[in-house]
């Protein structure tokens, strides 16, 4: 394991507790070894993947019979080429496009938003929706916020539309998605035997533990909500393994310091007031029922798709193929590891990304490449 695990600069948690104690980690690994496991666990969060690969935990866990796969836990990656083309189409029509950084470099059918920025179109990176609203306040041009992200991010969009009094020229291109529905569909596809889910800590901060419960019941699969320190993940794996060994299938919460059983009710209420569920396609997946969010009636003036329906129709009618040879779909379903893709580290690198999993800091391909493993 990385030396960083032994302590040092980031050893102390916010409240002074240690989440990177090597001794405890060794004991958990010893426990797992004694359990004589041969299991496969999926997580659905790029930040979990970063911790796992950065600290070499994937290899340590494999040695004790636990294989970890990353699922569709990367909002940029699961955003479809159609949604990227919608944003580019609006940029071409003269709108100001604002979005989070990683979205800019994901190719649509050819170009990316970053390419359009280079060509002089008004495409800007923002850190939060607040910045996009500020931009709108200082221009007469329509400002489109490309609203990607899971339940962690969606409340900020809802709260801004409900309480932030954005100006009339502020519009949202809704691309938010909800994770439990994707987990359900992924298990239903049955492409991969899975023995447990590590549930995403910050999504769960908003939604709590209950939305996962029907998945454990339906597929008899253990789940543990986990934080993002190495010990959080090791403990989550251990808790899943204990359930597996005892034949249980329920949702446990390892991340109690942030995740309450009912989540963040204030965030859920504002989301429910502003958004309603809709069916939406995810990259690498079919259309997933009720996994998207659209603006309720009463908020139409902010809905970019409604306001620009005539212009966007040509995008909706387009047939778009995934880039040739790109295995992002398989990587997002956990069916393939990044190294199994023929483009990985050859035609596809962070400087010349073919698919979104190599662009985003949360993408499985980018993370494996970044930490220098299996480079060709």
Can you give the binding site for another protein, defined by CB under 8 A? 13-15, 17, 23-24, 27-28, 30-31, 34, 45-47, 73-76, 100, 102, 127-131, 148-150, 152-153, 155-156, 159, 163, 200, 202-203, 205-206, 227, 231, 235, 238-239, 242, 254-260, 264, 266-267, 270, 360, 362
Which of 18, 82 has the CB closer to another protein?
A: 18
d(CA 200, CA 262): 15
Which of 76, 249 has the CB closer to another protein?
A: 76
Which of 155, 355 has the CB closer to another protein?
A: 155
Which of 153, 223 has the CB closer to another protein?
A: 153
Using DSSP's 3-state secondary structure scheme, residue 39 falls into strand
What minimum distance in Å lies between the beta carbon of 59 and another protein? 22
Q: What is the DSSP track for 331-371? A: HHTTSS-GGGSTTBTTTB-SSS-SSHHHHSTTSHHHHHHHT
What minimum distance in Å lies between the beta carbon of 166 and another protein? 13
Using DSSP's 3-state secondary structure scheme, residue 177 falls into strand
What minimum distance in Å lies between the beta carbon of 373 and another protein? 21
d(CA 320, CA 107): 12
Which of 207, 348 has the CB closer to another protein?
A: 207
- Residue with tokens 């109690």, as numbered in its chain: 256
Tell me the CB-side half-sphere exposure of residue 267, using CA atoms within 13 A.
19
What minimum distance in Å lies between the beta carbon of 267 and another protein? 5
What minimum distance in Å lies between the beta carbon of 40 and another protein? 22
What minimum distance in Å lies between the beta carbon of 323 and another protein? 22
Q: Say how many Å lie between the first and final Cα of the chain, rounded.
A: 22
C-alpha separations of 69 from 31, 240, 298, 336 in Å: 21, 14, 41, 9
Which of 49, 307 has the CB closer to another protein?
A: 49
Which of 60, 231 has the CB closer to another protein?
A: 231
- Residue with tokens 């966007």, as numbered in its chain: 312
d(CA 184, CA 182): 5
Which of 261, 286 has the CB closer to another protein?
A: 261
**C-beta separation of 153 from 130 below 8 A:** no
- In eight-state DSSP terms, residue 193 is -
What minimum distance in Å lies between the beta carbon of 94 and another protein? 26
Using DSSP's 3-state secondary structure scheme, residue 88 falls into helix
What minimum distance in Å lies between the beta carbon of 362 and another protein? 5
Q: Which long-range contacts (CB under 8 A, 24 or more apart) does 27-30 make?
A: 28/231, 28/234, 28/235, 28/237, 28/238, 29/60, 29/61, 29/64, 29/234
Which of 50, 122 has the CB closer to another protein?
A: 50
What minimum distance in Å lies between the beta carbon of 349 and another protein? 21
Q: At what angle do helices 129-137 and 154-163 cross, to 10 degrees?
A: 40
Which of 114, 159 has the CB closer to another protein?
A: 159
Buried b vs exposed e over 115-139: b needs ≥16 C-beta within 10 Å? bbbeeebbbebbeebeebbebbeee
What minimum distance in Å lies between the beta carbon of 46 and another protein? 6
C-alpha separations of 128 from 125, 145, 174 in Å: 9, 10, 15
């Amino acid at each position: 394991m990385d030396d960083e695990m032994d302590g040092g600069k980031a050893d102390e948690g916010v409240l002074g507790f240690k989440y990177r104690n090597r001794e405890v980690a060794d004991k958990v690994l010893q426990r797992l070894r004694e359990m004589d496991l041969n299991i496969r666990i999926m997580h659905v969060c790029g930040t979990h993947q970063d911790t796992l690969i950065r600290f070499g935990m994937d290899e340590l866990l494999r040695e004790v019979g636990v294989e970890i796969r990353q699922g569709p836990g990367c909002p940029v990656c699961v955003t479809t080429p159609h949604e990227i083309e919608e944003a580019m189409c609006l940029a071409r029509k003269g709108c100001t496009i604002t979005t989070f950084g990683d979205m800019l470099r994901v190719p649509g059918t050819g170009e990316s938003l970053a390419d359009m920025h280079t060509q002089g179109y008004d495409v800007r990176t923002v850190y939060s929706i607040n910045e996009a609203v500020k931009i709108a306040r200082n221009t007469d041009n329509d400002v489109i916020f490309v609203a990607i992200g899971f339940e962690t991010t969606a409340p900020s969009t809802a709260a801004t539309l409900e309480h932030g009094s954005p100006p009339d020229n502020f519009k949202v291109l809704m691309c938010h998605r909800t994770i439990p529905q994707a987990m359900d569909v992924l298990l239903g596809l049955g492409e991969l035997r899975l023995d447990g889910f590590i549930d995403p800590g910050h999504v769960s901060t908003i939604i709590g533990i209950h939305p996962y419960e029907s998945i454990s019941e339906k597929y008899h699969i253990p789940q543990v909500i986990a934080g993002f320190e190495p010990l959080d993940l090791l403990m989550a794996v251990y808790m899943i393994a204990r359930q597996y060994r005892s034949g249980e299938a329920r949702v446990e919460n390892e991340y109690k310091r942030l995740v309450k059983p009912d989540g963040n009710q204030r965030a859920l209420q504002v989301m429910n007031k502003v958004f309603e569920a809709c069916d939406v396609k995810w990259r690498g997946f079919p259309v997933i029922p009720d996994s998207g969010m659209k603006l309720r009636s009463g908020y139409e003036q902010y809905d970019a798709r409604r306001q620009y329906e005539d212009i966007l129709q040509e995008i909706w009618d387009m047939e778009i193929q995934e880039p040739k040879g790109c295995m992002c779909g398989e990587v997002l379903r956990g069916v393939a590891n990044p190294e199994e893709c023929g483009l990985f580290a050859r035609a596809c690198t962070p400087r010349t990304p073919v698919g979104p999993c190599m662009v985003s800091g949360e993408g499985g391909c980018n993370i494996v490449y970044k930490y220098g493993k299996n480079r060709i």
